[in-house]
Structure formats: C-alpha cells, structure tokens
Chains A and B, each alone.
Chain A
Amino acid sequence: GESVGLHLPTLSVQEGDNSIINCAYSNSASDYFIWYKQESGKGPQFIIDIRSNMDKRQGQRVTVLLNKTVKHLSLQIAATQPGDSAVYFCAETSSGGYNKLIFGAGTRLAVHP
C-alpha cells in the first residue's frame, strides 16, 4: 500500500462538487508557487503554478489563488471527478533557487460518487 498518505489531512467531496485545497506557505520571500498532484503509487505531477505578481491563475478546471498578505495559497478544482482523488502538494520557492523548493505535507482529496 501507499505509506506516504498516512496522517494527512483529508478533504472528502461528492463527485461534481467543487473542491478547495488550502496551503499556508512559510517564507515571505517566496515568489513562485506550484501545485502538484500525486496519485497512489506514482510520482507527483505538475498541475499549475503562479508567480507572486499574480493573485489568480486559471487552468483547465483548476484555479490557484494567492494571498501574499496572509501567505496563503489555494487550489480550486471545479466539478470534481473520481480521477481527481489523490494527494495534493503545494510548493514554494524563490526564483532561481535550486535547493529551495519547499513542499508542504500534502492534503488527500477523496472523491465519492
């Protein structure tokens, strides 16, 4: 089984509902933020990114919101599907910083039919 997901906060949603996954980042100097999705038994996959000169960025069914005042990042998934079930990680870094990509602990999203 997948041991990585133990002890993670879990968000449970009904299929078709919108999901909001939250992340508090730690470094006020961070200026680049990324969301990754990790399905069971697989490596993380890039979902969407945002730079600190933006408050919002939209992709296909996903929106990332950045609130620099309170150092908060959120990922919104519209019309959540069973295939969205995974662990979601936010990550922060300073531009060009090779060794400073800091990952959060992750949130498990469970989608119920």
Chain B
Amino acid sequence: NAGVTQTPKFQVLKTGQSMTLQCAQDMNHNSMYWYRQDPGMGLRLIYYSASEGTTDKGEVPNGYNVSRLNKREFSLRLESAAPSQTSVYFCASSARGLGTGELFFGEGSRLTVL
C-alpha cells in the first residue's frame, strides 16, 4: 500500500526560484495537510484542506500557496524561495479532522534554499 506519496524527496533551490511539492494519498481521506519540520521545533502546520475544494491557512502559511487538485492530491508551492524555507516538508492525510483521528504522513521532502 502506497499511503501518502510525496515528490520530490530532495530539492536544492536558489533564492527566488519557485517550485511545487506534490502529494498524493490513496486512502480516500477527506483531509490533507502540509507541515514543515525544523530542528528542535517539532512539526508546524503550513496549510490544510479539510475536504476537496477547500484550503485554509495553518500556523506558518507565509511564503506558500496550496492547491487541492482533487480528493487524492494536495500540492504546496513556493513562489519565491527564501533560505528560511530550508526545511523538511511533510504531507499528511486523515479520514477526518485533526482532533478526531490519526494522521498518515508521507516520507518527507527535504528542501534546501541557497
């Protein structure tokens, strides 16, 4: 079972470049999320999508945009990358909301912005 699949796994960007992180889940989950993980800070929510057709800001949305393309796919876009966006990005999904059940995470996308 694939679960949550993220691409790419690794990416190096120069400051000002743009890129899109792709995420797909095959569990028929309604809710999808993008987190970033920085050393010593745990995971912080960037954006989430409670259901197909809706997206909302999380804790740290500045510098990012998202698209819920369909029920399976949720992409994260960096329009103009900055060194502060160097991080490990995780996509996750859940059958229901955050307060009602477990999240299933992808394996992460490691982004370095020079």
Binding site for B on A (CB under 8 A): 3-8, 31-32, 34, 41-46, 49, 89, 93-106
- Complex: A41 Cα to B41 Cα, angstroms: 17
Q: Which residues of A contact B103 (CB under 8 A)?
A: 44, 46, 101
Contact B42 A89 (CB under 8 A): yes
Q: Which residues of B contact A94 (CB under 8 A)?
A: 99
Contact B48 A99 (CB under 8 A): yes
Q: Do most interface residues of chain B lie in helix, strand or loop, or is the interface mixed?
A: loop
Q: How many B residues have CB within 8 A of the partner chain?
A: 31
Residue of A nearest to B108 (CB): A43
Contact B97 A96 (CB under 8 A): yes
- Complex: A44 Cα to B48 Cα, angstroms: 17
Q: Which residues of B contact A98 (CB under 8 A)?
A: 31, 48, 50, 56, 97-99
- Complex: A93 Cα to B97 Cα, angstroms: 11
Given known pairs A43-B105, A43-B106, A105-B42, the reply for A4 and B88 (CB within 8 Å) is yes
Contact A49 B102 (CB under 8 A): yes
Q: Which residues of B contact A97 (CB under 8 A)?
A: 97-99
Given known pairs A7-B40, A98-B56, the reply for A43 and B4 (CB within 8 Å) is yes
